[in-house]
């Protein structure tokens, strides 16, 4: 049995929590790419038209499970996935991550339906702070002073948004903590990205497929429709969901959780550009202050290596 197989079916998934001293370049590319795709994915979901949050989330899970299983089988890794699924502790951990990601998807779609995109954007601003906090508190990541300043700027952006909303942002907190803990627990699971996603989607498949089937029998669902393209777009939502999530999981295991948190800002920033220049939504002074602070934080993180190399006394051992 290979070293990976022994790790994958071990009784304790905790050994997978090995924080890299430095960020792997490929991991940064994977994670950044996933956030870029998530930033432009509203263009795709917009083509589907009106659909309830539970129905769309169910279709995303069903078609993701089918797509990922085909890919895993084509790579000859299906026996390995089945072996992992026989490990109760690992299966329990993957069940937790599957519920977290499904919660995140459903809440976000609810935001779109109820026209609460401002609060959803707040959630994705808070999410990096959750990732940074989890990295420092639970994984022992040490933060340089440069990153502490960047966190302060990010916190300022969040505070401005909270004041602007004028009420307790429960939707934002659900989005932030569900995806923040998803990233944390996926780092704990000794499972490769694609195989892990296969297990996650199949854990949820019986419930979601049953719900889709129930809608079909009662004639209240949007699938199958009278046209080819609506069904095709919905089915292709499987790859559109699975590919960036797989890239995210692959990146999360190769870089520090605090770095993963800051890369999160790519997605809402791209979405903002689409909203303003593509959908012609207003961009007010509050957004200007928030995004200014966010991009200042990103610049600091991007220049961290040079700043530390020029000021050795500023270093905090990683």
Summarised one tens digit per residue, pLDDT across range 244-260 is 878 887 887 788 767 87
pLDDT reported for residue 202: 93
Alpha carbon distance 318, 313 (integer Å) = 14
Alpha carbon distance 186, 36 (integer Å) = 20
Query: CB atoms < 10 A from the CB of 252, how many?
Result: 23
Specify burial of residue 92 (Cβ count, 10 A radius: 0-12, 13-18, 19+): exposed
pLDDT reported for residue 308: 53
pLDDT reported for residue 96: 94
C-alpha closest to that of 47 among 232, 300, 251: 232
Phi first, then psi, for residue 115 (nearest 5°) are 60, 45
pLDDT (tens place) for every residue of the chain, 318 residues total: 333 333 333 334 434 445 555 677 888 888 899 989 988 887 777 777 667 778 888 888 999 999 999 989 998 888 988 988 888 888 999 999 999 999 998 888 787 777 677 777 778 777 777 777 787 777 777 777 877 887 788 788 778 877 776 767 788 889 989 988 888 888 788 887 788 889 999 999 999 999 988 988 887 777 776 577 778 888 888 888 888 878 887 887 788 767 876 787 788 778 777 777 877 776 778 778 877 887 787 777 767 655 554 444 333 333
pLDDT reported for residue 203: 94
pLDDT reported for residue 315: 34
C-alpha closest to that of 24 among 259, 312, 191: 259
pLDDT reported for residue 254: 81
pLDDT reported for residue 284: 76
Return all residues near 28 (Cβ < 8 A) that are at least 6 apart. Answer: 251, 254, 255, 259, 263
pLDDT reported for residue 167: 67
Q: Where are the beta strands (DSSP E) in the chain?
A: none
Summarised one tens digit per residue, pLDDT across range 66-78 is 999 998 999 888 8
Alpha carbon distance 186, 260 (integer Å) = 13
Cα radius of gyration (the chain)? 20
pLDDT reported for residue 210: 92
Q: Which token pair is 278? A: 């593509």
- DSSP letters, 82-149, are HHHTT-HHHHHHHHHHHHHHHHHHHHHHHHHHTT-HHHHHHHHHHHHHHHHHHHHHHS-----HHHHH
Long-range contacts of 7-11 (CB under 8 A, 24+ apart): 7/190, 8/80, 8/83, 8/84, 8/87, 8/90, 8/190, 8/191, 8/195, 9/83, 9/84, 9/86, 9/87, 9/90, 10/87, 10/190, 11/87, 11/89
pLDDT reported for residue 255: 83
Q: Which token pair is 303? A: 């220049």
């Amino acid at each position: 049995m290979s070293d990976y197989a022994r790790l994958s079916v071990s009784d304790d998934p905790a050994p997978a929590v090995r924080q890299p001293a430095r960020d792997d370049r490929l991991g940064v590319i994977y994670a950044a790419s996933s956030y870029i795709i998530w930033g432009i994915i509203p263009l795709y979901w917009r083509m589907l038209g009106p659909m309830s949050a539970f129905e769309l989330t169910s279709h995303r899970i069903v078609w993701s499970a089918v797509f990922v299983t085909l890919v895993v089988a084509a790579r000859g890794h299906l026996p390995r996935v089945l072996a992992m699924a026989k490990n109760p502790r690992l299966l329990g951990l993957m069940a937790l991550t599957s519920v977290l990601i499904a919660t995140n998807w459903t809440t976000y779609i609810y935001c779109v339906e109820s026209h609460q995109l401002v609060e959803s954007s707040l959630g994705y601003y808070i999410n990096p702070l959750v990732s940074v906090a989890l990295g420092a508190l639970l994984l022992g990541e040490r933060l340089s002073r440069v990153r502490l300043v960047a966190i302060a700027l990010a916190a300022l952006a969040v505070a401005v948004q909270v004041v602007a909303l004028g009420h307790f942002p429960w939707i934002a907190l659900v989005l932030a903590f569900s995806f923040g803990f998803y990233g944390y627990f996926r780092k704990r699971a000794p499972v490769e990205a694609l195989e892990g996603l296969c297990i996650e989607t199949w854990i949820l498949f019986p419930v979601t497929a049953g719900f889709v089937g129930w809608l079909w029998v009662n004639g209240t669902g949007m699938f199958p429709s009278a046209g080819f393209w609506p069904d095709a777009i919905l089915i292709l939502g499987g790859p559109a969901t699975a590919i960036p999530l797989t890239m995210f999981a692959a990146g999360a295991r190769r870089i520090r959780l605090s770095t993963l948190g800051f890369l999160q800002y790519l997605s809402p920033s791209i979405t903002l550009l689409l909203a303003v220049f593509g959908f012609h939504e207003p961009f007010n002074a509050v957004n200007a202050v928030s995004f200014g602070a966010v991009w200042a934080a990103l610049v600091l993180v991007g220049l961290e290596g040079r700043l530390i190399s020029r000021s050795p006394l500023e270093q905090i051992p990683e």
